[in-house]
Structure 1
Amino acid sequence: MSTSSEIPILHPNAVSPGYTKYDIVACVLTFVAAVCVALRFAYRSHKRDYALDDWMALAALVFAVGVLIGTILISIPSIAGAGYHITTYTVAQLDNYLKLALASDVLYNFSVAGSKASIVFFYHRIFSIDYHFRIFMRIILILIVGNCLAAALGLIFSDRPVQAQWNVGMPYTSINDRAFWTSMAVVNIVLDMLILGIAQFKVWKLNMSLRRKVLVSFVFMLGAFTIITSILRIVYLLVVDIADLTYTLTTAGIWTNVEMNLSIICACAPVIYSFVRIKTNGGRSTTARSAGYNMGDSKGIITIGSAKGRIRGRFNDTESEVGLSNSAYHNIDEEDGDSHSLKAMDRIHVFEAQTASLRYHLGDNYEFDFVDGAYLWPAAPGIEEVFGTQQACYSYFDGTAGSALAAVDDLAAYVVENGPFDAVLGFSMGSALAATLLLQPRDGNDKQLALTHDSARNLIYSAIFVCGTLPVDCAELRRGTMTWMDAARAHQKCWPVRVPTVHAWSEQDTGYPGESQQLMRMCVEESRVELLHSAGHGIPSKTDEVAALASSVQQMLSSLRARV
């Protein structure tokens, strides 16, 4: 900072070439960041599923707009005219330059912290079932907040007195500005690397195809561009001449703006990817197919578990978030032997564990999408004894008509977005939810919603109901009433489930006696298969029973493919 009280008036009355470039870069990148945030909220508005990650992205954009305003003001010749050598400024121009530079630097730190926090909260949204991961993310979040406050306070109080930051000629003492800037930039890079690294670690542990892993990994790897720009920013900060700050800081400032806006863009990239998938897949699949099956593009089997008693909440949106699902967060080893028992390597997805033996018998030819509820709910009896008290259990709806209707609509939207599927596999109320969608009302009042449900029904080629319970009357749901349908009511109000079905139920099911048989009678008789097991209201576990169920499923799917 210059301490000269008289500075010759040699400043050109024009925006400097360096700041002309700076202003263009800042305007373009801030506009792109704003579009990305707008697309993010457009995607969330589809289900009104706003969360902290969205609001943090919006906050980061607001601070970035503040930086843009400061950048434009500081380049105007009548205000500060940044970008020229320091000896060409008046004292008033230097005062304005230093004030605006300080304000922009503080806003930059808040914007970058907002982007990082958005990514952390997004990870928390899609990986929330992993307790240790949640703890790690909270630690990262604390570091982000601490780094932001340290940077902002360090900038504001780097000079004593504070007013000396913008009062040229005032006596002052100061910290080592270059060392401070560099250290804060290095901490930002370390945080970015931790955030990016943990995402890659989680993605490559997921139980999904290599192609999907590569795709999801690439989406998260976009954050590496932010690290690259941060490194370039450090390089240019190291060559800044403090004695000629107005001129030599320009290039570093450009890279600072690039880093800030790129952080916002990268934070929104996974959600934008989901938005594009909805528009692309939705656009193709809204046309219902009236005849035959096309199994060539099917994605496997969609599975819906159950929460006994009242279940709550809407679908966890993890599958639409860059193709992830809660089922894939855990490693499970199946041991050879009659029972094909599990050895838990981490906290596991309950329904994934319960169906492990069935999936073992089905072989490696199928990919499973596990659809979860979005909110925590008390574990059903027996779950804690097997999976421990730390196991997180989720559910779909809370017993009210509105939440049940939302769950059915969300399932339809999920299928349209991610389908087609060879089959839907449901247990207990998961079967009820699937059957509610598959039962086509004879009289649909809501034409748009009927189109969505019809499209979803055409993207599910068969169904597997294990200990299925009674579906819900959708027409009554729209009137605000929860009414369970028995076979007689279903035949009166709906067309039978037309896809091939496999029904596995137990005579020892005392929790929902007779409901599986009622559900079976709602399906076309000629294309349904009935199997008995001895597990009561549970997933079959005996080797012969599981093998019989797997054989029936394989025969059903093979017959579907034979029709193509």
Structure 2
Amino acid sequence: MPVVQQANDRNGILVMTVLFTIIIIAVVVLRFYARHITRAGYGADDWTALAALLFTLGLNGIFLGATIEGAITGHSPVVDGWPVTIPLEITAQKYKYAFQTTEKWVFGLIKISILLLWKRLFGSSKRFRVLCWVMIGITIAWTLAFFFTTVFQCGTRWSMNWAPIGIFLTQCIESLDVLTVFAATDIISDLIIICMPVPLIWRLHLPTKKKVALNSVFLVGFFTIGAGIARTYMYLVTSYDKESNPDFIADFTLCILWSEIEANVAMMVCCLPTLSPVVGKFASSLRTTPLGRWFPLTPTEKHSHEMSEDLELSVASKLRRKQPSRLSSDKQMLWEEGQGTITTAGYSNTNELPRNNRTILARTDISTTFEARDSDSL
């Protein structure tokens, strides 16, 4: 069986966690800014992403605390192929319990936020909306089931959750099997959620290049799946092959490290599909500066601008159905002629649509009457 390579660079891990924290805060702020500049309104997906951010920040705080106290990158003395209990092992067990209970909410909320975003963008399909709600229900059940299983893994004997690893494994539920099932179902659900909009995109009447560009935004979520696979591998190797990997604290470091990476990458992936308006606005602003005139738009920037329009199309269509155009009464033009054909025209003063400062909506109503008219009255 393989012996996993240990992670010993404490300073590097601290820097990584701080950078992750800054990045995830930035992407969520930019997500809300993108909603503001497109005037699309804040939705349930945005508020769920904000809740996921708060739990992820809590997760990062737990990870930082464990690293500062030495539980992350620490080591257990090994005698006769089994780790010797030291105070640092108890500390590691406490942080593991806090981390594993918090991560269930992080992963669950991120999945729900992405599903709500899919429903918002592609909600014109009733079948797709139903699929989104089914997946949301499954995700909620999945989150609650693993959260309460982790909280009560030792029943109400709370101190057993941070007992020495030998006592914990014999007195509590089969936590290794629970973690394995959790990691495997996490990967499977991520794969389903990420691939859900792909068939809809390929059915759009768009050039193939644009379809590929749109899919690339969603499929960036495979980075999250990659981190999940790495975490699952660490679970399997370190948990079921103790003879080759007897250092409990070092194994704890690897498993928690990959969970931390997966959670923060998932938080970024959750917000990336919403940031194209910000990229387009930044590119447009750059073109207006003297320096910007020397830099042509790259294909990525062009695709970002095009994707912004495409992703908001279904939202705009939904709003148009809910907000019928209102023709202003003072901008109407009327003429009467012949048998009384009356035509009215005007502009829409609806201001709820995305990008309304760049969109003109018009409606013309034509009605025909057959009333006889006195020629003297004309």
> How far has the Cα of 1:165 moved from its partner?
0.7
Provide the residue aligned with 1:267 in structure 2: 270
Q: By how many angstroms is 1:269 displaced?
A: 0.8
Q: Tell me which residue corresponds to 2:34.
A: 43
The letter of the residue matching 2:356 is L
Which ranges in structure 2 are unaligned for 5 or more consecutive residues?
A: 1-6, 290-301, 330-347, 371-378
Per-residue deviation, 1:114: 1.5
- 1:388-441 per-residue CA deviation (whole Å, 9 max, x = no partner) reads xxxxx443567899x93524884323x5xxxxxxxx7xxxxx424xxxxxxxxx
Q: 1:508 aligns to what?
A: 368
2:146 paired with 1:148:
no
Q: What TM-score results when the alignment is normalised by the length of structure 2?
A: 0.73
Asked whether the equivalents of residues 160 and 172 of structure 2 are also in contact (C-alpha less than 8 Å), the reply is no
Q: Which residue of structure 2 lines up, in the alignment, with residue 187 of structure 1?
A: 185
Aligned-CA RMSD value? 3.4
Task: Using the TM superposition, give the Cα deviation of residue 27 of structure 1 relative to its aligned residue in structure 2, in angstroms.
Answer: 2.1
Name the counterpart of 2:59: 67
Q: For residues 13-412 of structure 1, what are the structure 2 equivalents within 5 Å?
A: 17-46=8-37, 47=39, 49-77=41-69, 80=71, 83-85=74-76, 92-160=87-155, 161-168=157-164, 173-241=171-239, 244-281=247-284, 320=308, 323=311, 325-326=313-314, 372-374=317-319, 393-396=321-324, 404=349, 406-407=351-352, 410-412=355-357
One-letter amino acid of the structure 2 residue matched with residue 97 of structure 1 = A
Write out aligned runs for 1:443-482 (5 A): 468-469=364-365
Paired AA for residue 508 in structure 1: T
Maintained 8 Å contact 1:223/1:263: yes
Alpha-carbon distance between aligned partners in 1 of 2:77 and 2:161, rounded to the nearest angstrom: 15
Q: From the superposition, tell whether residues 80 and 259 of structure 1 become closer, same or farther in structure 2 (CA, over 3 Å).
A: closer
Question: Percent of counterpart pairs with the same letter?
Answer: 22
Query: Whole-Å Cα distance in 2 between the matches of residues 69 and 409 of structure 1?
Result: 37
Cα distance in 1 for partners of 2:318, 2:117 equals 17
Rg (Cα) greater in structure? 1
Distance in 2 (CA, whole Å) between partners of 1:115 and 1:59 is 9
Q: 1:218 & 1:326 partners in 2: Cα distance?
A: 19
Contact 2:72 2:249 in 1 (8 A): no
The answer (yes or no) to whether the contact 2:115–2:136 under 8 Å persists in 1 is: yes
Query: 1:86, 1:245 within 8 Å by CA — same for their partners in 2?
Result: no
**More helix, by proportion:** 2
Q: Are the aligned partners of 2:72 and 2:250 in contact in 1 as well (CA < 8 Å)?
A: no
Q: Quote the Cα distance in structure 1 between the aligned partners of 2:62 and 2:116.
A: 29
- Pairwise CA distance, 1:280: 2.3
Aligned-residue offset at 1:23: 2.5
Q: 2:220 corresponds to which letter in structure 1? A: L
TM-score of the two chains, using structure 1 as the length reference: 0.51
Query: Which gives a bigger RCO, structure 1 or 2 (Cα 8 Å, sep 6+)?
Result: 2
Deviations 1:475-498 (A, max 9, x none): xxxxxxxxxxxxxxxxxxxxxxxx
Displacement, 1:89?
Answer: 8.0
User: What is the CA distance between 1:150 and its match in structure 2?
Assistant: 1.8
Residue type of the partner of 2:29?
A: A
**Which residue number in structure 2 is paired with residue 559 of structure 1?**
none
Q: Distance between the aligned counterparts of 1:250 and 1:185, measured in 2?
A: 16
Check whether the contact 1:158–1:174 (CA below 8 A) recurs between aligned residues: yes
Q: Structure 1's 404 and 70: CA in aligned 2 closer, same or farther, altered over 3 A?
A: same
Q: Is the 8 A contact 1:99 1:166 kept in 2?
A: yes
| Number of matched pairs | 318
The one-letter code of the counterpart of 1:122 is L
CA deviation profile, 1:218-268 (whole Å, cap 9, x unmatched): 111101111111111111111224763211121222221111111111111
Hey, what's the Cα distance between the residues in 2 that align with 1:509 and 1:221? 57
**Matches of 1:408 and 1:124, distance apart in 2:** 18
| Alpha-carbon shift at residue 22 of structure 1 (Å) | 2.9
Q: Residues 19, 105 of structure 1: CA spacing in aligned structure 2 closer, same or farther, 3 A cutoff?
A: farther
Please list, as runs of the form range in 1=range in 2, the aligned pairs for 1:395-434 lying within 5 A after superposition.
Answer: 395-396=323-324, 404=349, 406-407=351-352, 410-413=355-358, 415=359, 430-432=361-363
Q: Shift of residue 326 of structure 1?
A: 3.0
Answer whether contact 1:271 1:322 (CA < 8 A) is retained.
no
Q: State the distance in 1 between where 2:90 and 2:328 align.
A: 62
Q: CA deviation at 1:92?
A: 4.5
Aligned partners of 2:121 and 2:311 also within 8 Å:
no
Q: Match of 2:74, SS?
A: coil
Q: String of CA shifts for 1:96-128, please: whole Å, max 9, x gaps.
A: 322222111121221111111111011111111
Q: What letter corresponds to residue 314 of structure 2 in structure 1?
A: N
- In 1: Cα distance, 2:327 partner to 2:92 partner: 61
Q: Deviations over 1:57-95 (max 9, x none)?
A: 111111111111111111223x75652115698754433
Unpaired segments ≥5 residues, structure 1? 1-15, 287-298, 300-317, 328-370, 376-392, 416-423, 425-429, 433-467, 470-505, 511-564
Matched residue SS, 2:135: helix
Could you tell me which residue of structure 2 aligns to residue 456 of structure 1? none
How far the C-alpha of 1:159 sits from its partner, in A, is: 2.1
Call closer, same or farther: CA 1:93–1:42 in 2, change over 3 Å. Answer: same
Specify whether residues 74 and 58 from structure 1 end up closer, same or farther in structure 2 by C-alpha distance, changes over 3 A only.
same
Distance 1:276 1:59 in 2: 24
Distance change >3 Å, CA 322–CA 27, structure 1 → 2 = farther
